Amino acid sequence: MSVHSGPAAVSSLATFLDACPTPYHAVREVERRLREAGYRALDEREEWRVGPADRVYVVRGGGTIVALAVGAAPPSRAGFRLVGAHTDSPGFRVKPKPELRALGHHQLGVEVYGSPLLHTWLDRDLSLAGRVSLVDGSTHLVRIDHPICRISSLAIHLQPTLGTDGLRLNPQQHVVPTLALGDDDGPTLAPLLVKELARSGVSVPADAIGAFDLALFDVQGAQVVGDTGALLASARLDNLASCHAGLVALLEGPPAGDATRGIVLYDHEEVGSQSAAGAGSLFLRSVLGRIAEGFPGAGADATERALAASLLVSADMAHAVHPNHPDKHDKDHSPKLGGGPVIKVNANQSYATDAPAAAAFERACRDEGFSAQRFVARNDMRCGSTIGPISAARLGMRTVDVGNPMLGMHSCREVAGSADVPRMIAALGRMLALPVVPPASD
């Protein structure tokens, strides 16, 4: 397949990361790239007519998208080859009644989303992005690119036991950002949103805003770090890096063969996936079923036959071994930054990988000139989970959990190895082009 060179792949990913401060912006950016490549949108409310060589995508909830390059053969015979990832990242979401006043500070009420490393959000230049829904029924994306708020640390002089007891943050009290200073009681957020809507051509008064889904984000963009450019530092590497890799693998891969290739990028993974647009929903099964059942020559039991002949690569970032904390890894399963994609295994099914699927991914890596790393959590530590087990249970589809290694997962600013970016794209491209899936009976 045609893949980016190393520097170009990293530059492409950095551009993608900077364009996607929220899941809604991520889906909009994915849509833009898909349309440029000739994909057309489908509406769940309408009848679909999809056949061989079609390129289509479907959005649900604003933050979840499925895109498919339809193959030449019925999915009931050739199956699907899918890459799954998630568009959301841990952080802070704005509360419905956000206006707070404290000792001359105009503050913004926020709710913790997922499990961010709270201390990493302190003393950073933050702004707001998301979507605003008006009372007329329309919804608009907003993004304020300049810094508008900060969450300040408490000086060490006022917490002299910090060095011995460590930093302890109460998520209700200690991570409330300041927007402005003053003793007046006027609104702070609404004028900002009205101004930002006007910049995009939507001129409305403040009382036209019915609701919003807004998130804090760090305005510092993605940066290559180090004399040799070995590291990529950015917000939201978990898991926009996997979304980008899957998207590029789909768009730059070979023309669809017999099997239908695609990506599914979910919202709400960081909070359990139990939503109408999350991996715990029936969204993907519905989309795949409609494609399989409506395909010419589908035959009986088309959906179930298609799923049995399919494979999902669940791509989420992996824990690299930390040079200052090597004891946090099993010594024989300690992925390194720059060492290539990681196959993630958990006997208790926090990851969905099994031997046939792992072998298929290893073969894909070897075909590209490298071998995959392996991660298994220590027996005395939890390993987290992904969309993999949820999707496997919902679909009955063979699944392998993989990801590029990174440090600082769930930090406001994370870091990954630059050399791993093109390798993951290449491996996913091979998996999407997999001619035969190991049978479900194995």
The chain-wide mean pLDDT, for the chain, equals 95
- Pairing mode, if any, of strands 231-234 and 260-266? unpaired
Q: What is the pLDDT of residue 4?
A: 54
More confident residue, 215 or 188: 215
Between CA 227 and CA 17 the distance in angstroms is 22
Q: What is the pLDDT of residue 382?
A: 86
Average pLDDT over residues 304-328: 97
Per-residue pLDDT tens digits for 390-427: 999 999 999 999 999 999 999 999 999 999 999 999 99
Q: How confident is the model at residue 438 (pLDDT cuts 50, 70, 90)?
A: confident
Cis peptide before 379, with omega less than 30 degrees from 0?
no
Q: What is the pLDDT of residue 204?
A: 96
Q: What is the pLDDT of residue 58?
A: 98
Neighbours of 84 (CB within 10 A): 29
Q: What is the pLDDT of residue 1?
A: 40
Per-residue pLDDT tens digits for 349-381: 999 999 999 999 999 999 999 999 999 999 999
pLDDT at residue 186 greater than cutoff 80: no
pLDDT at residue 190 greater than cutoff 50: yes
Give the torsion through C-alpha atoms of 110, 129, 96, 387, to 10 deg. Answer: -80
- Amino acid identity of 53? A
Least confident of 178-192, 227-241, 259-273: 178-192
- Pairing mode, if any, of strands 342-344 and 373-375? parallel
Q: How confident is the model at residue 2 (pLDDT cuts 50, 70, 90)?
A: very low
